[in-house]
Structure 1
Amino acid sequence: MIIFKPNPHKLWVTRSSKEPGRFDWLITRDDVVVRQSVRSFGSKGASEANGDAAFREITSRWQSTR
């Protein structure tokens, strides 16, 4: 029997509060930040792509510990 557990992590892309016109990302688990971008990005797409790589890494580790 397969039991599906949804991924508790979420990727958020937001406008940078420190650099106007740029974007940051953060990853949360149960509404707690577990990782965030070190630098801001010039476009939402670039920020999302970089955050997605980190998201996949965290998700991979989370799945291997279950």
Structure 2
Amino acid sequence: MIEGSEAAFQTIYSRYATKLYSYARKNIPLKEDCEQIVQEVFVSIWARREKLTNVTAVESYLLE
């Protein structure tokens, strides 16, 4: 993903979007707000992908 692979990004999204959404729902009551937050997180990750070279545990990075 760091090198711009959309397939790698899609894999990360598919694997972690639901977990991130569930985590957000524990703290945020509105479903739509949680969906928006998850979308913004992944847009941000894609925009900053070249700077994420030190991320080795994606799930921990997303949920901490």
For Structure 1 versus Structure 2, the TM-score category normalised by the shorter chain is 0.3 to 0.5
TM-score by length of 1: 0.43
Q: Which has the greater radius of gyration?
A: 1
TM-score by length of 2: 0.44
Higher relative helix content: 2
